[in-house]
Amino acid sequence: MKMRLIHWTLLLLAVASLSHCKRGSFKENQPPVTQLFLNEINRVGENRLNSTVFLSWFGSDPDGYVVGYEFSLDFETWTYTTRTDSVFRFSITAGNDTDDINFWIRAVDNLGARDPNPAFLKIPLRNTPPVATIDRGAAPADTVRIAATFRWRATDADGDHTITKVQIKANDGDWVDVPRNSNLFTIVLRKPYQTGVHEADIYIDNARVPHVQAFDKIRYNDTNRVYIRAFDIANSVSLVDTSEVFVMVPASSDFLVIGGQPSNIWDIYRPIIELVSTGYDYLDLIRNQGKYRPKFWNPTFRHVIAQYSRLFIFTDPTNYQNPVTGQSASLLVFMAPAIADFNNIGGKSLVTTTLTANADITAFSIAYPIDGLVISGGQARLTADSTIFSVQGTPQQYPAMKPQFVLTGLVPIVRSPDSEPFYRAQLTKLQGWQGDNLVGVRRRNGQGQVQQVFFGVNLHHFAMDGNHLQTLLHQILNNDFNW
């Protein structure tokens, strides 16, 4: 009886308790709590942080779980993230050398509740000056003819976007603004050439027209240096970087000889060139292991040859590696884009080379008047008692010429559709070799004037056959190209 009374008492108490509860009520969601791993950063003066800062945080939720975070720099605009750390690159107010960044972050829970009291951190920043450098590995040699190209870079630890201005100058001249998004500039000497201090044009990257400003104090036929510096939004200026000393040599003639073979080959051509021309400049592309080859064929080489009206190029199929691009190719391939431009401005060129059956002439068609090579099994030779002979003009203009010794492994050429046959060879065909015997072609311009001559044999092999090579070079360089 006593136990039953206790049970009834407990039941009545439970009912009374329930009668005081509101039907359908539930406990409200509790918002999450956010913490930064750093509560404050006590740095002043030079110890302030640069604009790149690593921050980390975490959040907890008493009745659920955290799904993400929102951060803000003004307590108005919030950015959502699921990360618990990040590297921030803050922008320093333009014109300020130091700045304080306010950073808030708040957790968001699974029901969308946000921490009503976001974690806060004041971040003391200082501006880092930019850095501007000239690429020494891509710099021109100690002596350049007409054009010198420099590659440069400007960076800033606060973000490259904070760089507002890059300037270059030559010697003790005025500073010149250059576009921040470029990385090359080329100095090009101006005509008429003279010795002393003068202006020189600046070309940005591969531009076809000069920059609006020029270098005002380039020393022609003398030593020069160029300088570079950069500014950022705080108006901080980088240390000035300086190039090595280099000499700029102007053209002395409208005729340029380009050598791509050893000096003993030039020794054969030189006396003939001196007899058939009143003046010339010589550019040796293999001297000192190619020290004076352009590192930037475009634009450097293009600007160089544009200052001349006639070119004589002698070379061979040897491949060379460009130290800047890593590309490996023959000199004629490297030259091809610039020669194509040279053709477009009316330049005249005579090229003599030897081609091999496996030579890559893919790039030739844009610049030279040949369309392919004659490939065959066996071998084609030119014996010492055979000649190469012209199919144009008269023998007095274009004489037949004998080699000083047997030339083996000849690879005749296929002319381009806009060119004409010029010289053929009396070939000796061995072991089933067959094919055309064309070894020289020429291309005329729209007015019918001879603009390009291309030989697929090295003409220096024919220099010992009387004065015939001298006659041929005189006719081409002085008569055919005299327009």
Mean of per-residue pLDDT scores for the chain: 91
Best-predicted range by mean pLDDT (22-26, 39-43, 88-92, 190-194): 88-92
pLDDT at residue number 18: 40
> DSSP 3-state assignment of 388?
strand
Task: Indicate the DSSP class of residue 433.
Answer: -
Please give the average per-residue pLDDT across 71-79, as a whole number.
Answer: 96
More confident residue, 48 or 316: 316
Q: Are the C-beta atoms of 41 and 7 separated by less than 8 Å?
A: no
Is the distance from CB of 390 to CB of 450 less than 8 angstroms? no
pLDDT digits (tens, 9 = 90+) for 324-351: 999 999 999 999 999 999 999 999 999 9
pLDDT tens-digit series, residues 361-373: 888 889 999 999 9
Is residue 1 pLDDT above 70, yes or no?
no
Instruction: Give all domains of the chain, ordered by start, each with its CATH number.
Output: 33-126 (2.60.40.10), 131-249 (2.60.40.10), 255-480 (3.40.50.880)
pLDDT score, position 365? 87
> In whole angstroms, what separates CA 332 from the centre of its chain?
20
Judged against a pLDDT cut of 90, whether residue 394 lies above it is answered with yes
Whether the per-residue pLDDT at 200 is higher than 50: the answer is: yes
- pLDDT above 50 for 103: yes
Contact 107, 116 (CB under 8 A): no
Is residue 459 pLDDT above 60, yes or no? Answer: yes
CB 198 within 8 A of CB 224: no
Question: Pick from 478, 395, 397, 386: which is nearest to 425 by CA?
Answer: 386
- pLDDT tens track for 268-297: 999 999 999 999 999 999 999 999 999 999
Share of the chain above pLDDT 70, in %: 93
Q: What is the pLDDT of residues 123-165, one digit of tens each?
A: 988 888 899 999 999 999 999 999 999 999 999 988 888 899 9
Segment 179-188, tens digit of pLDDT:
999 999 999 9
CA–CA distance from 342 to each of 112, 143, 339, 347, 451 (Å)?
A: 69, 23, 5, 5, 11
pLDDT tens for residues 11-66? 433 444 444 444 545 679 999 999 998 877 877 666 678 778 899 999 999 999 99
Report residue 2's pLDDT band, with 50, 70 and 90 as the boundaries.
very low
* Position 72 pLDDT exceeds 70: yes
Q: Enter the pTM of the model.
A: 0.81
Between CA 379 and CA 310, with CA 421 as vertex, the angle to 5 degrees is 110
pLDDT of residue 92: 77
Range from 17-26, 227-236, 385-394 that averages highest in pLDDT: 385-394
